[in-house]
């Protein structure tokens, strides 16, 4: 069961690596149960934001609270129980598949729970290929996509109420990525997706658009109406990647005058 306390608040955040700030005066509220996609051009601080809200990076100014507590005040064990960050380069280790999948749990996980998670996220072919949950994982013999799937199932099985996917499905094809994101959305808690496909943004409840130190947040329709940059990004994404909503036909994006 996912634990409670996934609400996250960021107030007046400032962060820089060198002279120019990556984030300046940044504010964000992620209520419990939210599903937020973060998009924007390369190099605007999306992964930096993921690191800050999970406590991996410390801002030079501002406040980040998780479940009402300053994230910097949480001990490593408490923080690990409250959030999980899945990066683009997934980590798996030599050992059994079972050991890889349950390594974020400190309570027993039976095969029925493993089976539910495996089927929800599409890991079953890998389970069969390795000879079951007790089969050996050799990272060098797995593809990047297979390592990502093992990593996301491990995170899905954790009790952490905040999950951040930092392009964690970039090596999966669009249907597999959809399966993963939809499973996490049903899991409970809060989900933040650093997106690299339009389909990820359309599945989210809200979208955070980052452009240097400027940000804009809203639904897909709101951002289409308000942001020339968002319309430009949508135009670069392949339209076939966007999932049609019920009763809707996806039409390739047309040029929109910049206002």
The answer to the question of residue 258 being in a domain is no
C-alpha angle 39-45-50 in degrees, rounded to nearest 5: 80
pLDDT of residue 2: 55
The answer to the question of residue 100 being in a domain is yes
Mean pLDDT confidence for 237-255: 42
Is residue 246's pLDDT more than 50?
no
Q: pLDDT band at residue 140, thresholds of 50, 70 and 90?
A: very high
The answer to the question of residue 246 being in a domain is no
Is residue 213's pLDDT more than 80?
no
Is residue 245's pLDDT more than 50?
no
pLDDT of residue 232: 86
Mean pLDDT confidence for 95-123: 97
Of 18-32, 131-145, 163-177, 238-252, give the lowest mean pLDDT range: 238-252
Is residue 4's pLDDT more than 60?
no
User: How many folded domains does the chain comprise?
Assistant: 1
Per-residue pLDDT tens digits for 48-75: 999 999 999 999 999 999 988 999 898 8
The answer to the question of residue 250 being in a domain is no
The answer to the question of residue 50 being in a domain is yes
- Domain containing residue 157: 8-241
The answer to the question of residue 91 being in a domain is yes
Q: Which residue shows structure tokens 């050799």? A: 138
CA distance 203 to 199: 6
Q: pLDDT band at residue 251, thresholds of 50, 70 and 90?
A: very low
CA distance 218 to 159: 28
Reduced 3-state DSSP string for 104-115: CCCCCCCHHHHH
Q: Which residue shows structure tokens 């406040």? A: 63
The answer to the question of residue 249 being in a domain is no
CATH of the domain at 176: 3.40.50.300
The answer to the question of residue 248 being in a domain is no
């Amino acid at each position: 069961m996912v634990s409670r306390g996934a609400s996250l608040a960021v107030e007046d955040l400032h962060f820089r690596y060198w002279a120019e700030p990556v984030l300046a005066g940044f504010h964000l509220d992620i209520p419990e149960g939210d599903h937020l996609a973060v998009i924007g051009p390369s190099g605007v601080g999306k992964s930096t934001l993921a690191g800050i809200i999970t406590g991996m990076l410390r801002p030079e100014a501002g406040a980040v609270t998780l479940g009402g507590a300053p994230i910097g005040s949480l001990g490593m064990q408490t923080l690990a129980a409250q959030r999980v960050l899945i990066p683009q380069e997934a980590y798996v280790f030599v050992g059994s598949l079972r050991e890889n999948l349950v390594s974020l749990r400190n309570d027993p996980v039976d095969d029925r729970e493993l089976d539910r998670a495996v089927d929800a996220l599409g890991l079953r072919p890998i389970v069969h290929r390795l000879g079951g949950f007790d089969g050996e994982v050799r990272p060098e013999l797995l593809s990047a996509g297979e390592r990502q799937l093992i990593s996301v199932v491990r995170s899905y099985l954790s009790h952490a109420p905040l999950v951040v996917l930092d392009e964690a499905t970039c090596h999966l094809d669009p249907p597999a990525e959809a399966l993963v994101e939809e499973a996490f959305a049903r899991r409970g808690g809060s989900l933040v997706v650093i997106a690299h496909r339009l389909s990820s943004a359309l599945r989210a409840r809200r979208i955070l658009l980052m452009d240097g130190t400027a940000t804009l947040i809203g639904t897909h329709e709101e951002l289409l109406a308000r942001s020339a940059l968002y319309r430009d990004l949508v135009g670069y994404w392949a339209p076939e990647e966007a999932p049609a909503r019920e009763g809707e036909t996806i039409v390739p994006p047309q040029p929109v005058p910049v206002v």
